[in-house]
Homo-oligomer: A and B are copies of this chain.
Amino acid sequence: MAGDNGFTLWFTGLSGSGKTTITNQLVKELRKREIPLEVLDGDIVRENLSKGLGFSKEDRDTNIRRIAFVANLLSRHGVPVITAAISPYREIRDEAREMMDGRFIEAYVKASIETCEERDVKGLYAKARAGEIKEFTGVSDPYEPPEDPELVIDTESQTPEESAQQILTYLAQRGLIPAG
């Protein structure tokens, strides 16, 4: 059952910055507190709403707009939503912000391209460098960091647990989840 505290926690960051890891950690913590939520992960959305779209600027924009459309529907009915797509373009994130008004919380998951490439959890950077993946964000495609995000999550200096805690503290301070 949803409450009246709908919000969209919108992660943005490079591949390998830690969006999924932090999302998983956060989901665990929110479930423990019995807070309902919906996760709109980049892959889930590409499978269910955006099959057939590629990675050109136009297709990426369309994909992100669809995520925002669904996040808006859910959050305006009181459902907390976490989105975890790279969402590289500032303009489209700002569109999402405007659509969701005060319910939009931008969380910049920050790690340098060098760190992300070193982690290379999915082996994608290696493929991108080898030219096997075209239009790879940070390598052959732009990433525009947020200018004034609600949260900056520095995954070079803190653990996923610390990052999740930082977010929980913020949400509690905003009155969006119960304190403690």
Contacts and interface: CB of A to CB of B under 8 A. Distances in A.
Interface of A: 1-4, 36, 38, 48-49, 51-52, 62, 65-66, 69-70, 73-74, 77-79
Contacts of A73: 38, 70, 73-74
A154 to B, nearest CB: 31
Q: In the assembly, how many copies of this chain are there?
A: 2
Nearest to A53: B52
B77 A38 contact: yes
Given A1-B2, A1-B77, A52-B52, 13 more contacts: A1-B3, A1-B4, A48-B65, A48-B69, A49-B66, A49-B69, A49-B70, A51-B62, A70-B70, A77-B77, A77-B78, A77-B79, A79-B79
12 contacts: A1-B3, A1-B77, A1-B78, A2-B2, A2-B77, A2-B79, A36-B77, A49-B66, A73-B73, A74-B74, A74-B77, A74-B79
A42 to B, nearest CB: 15
B69 A2 contact: no
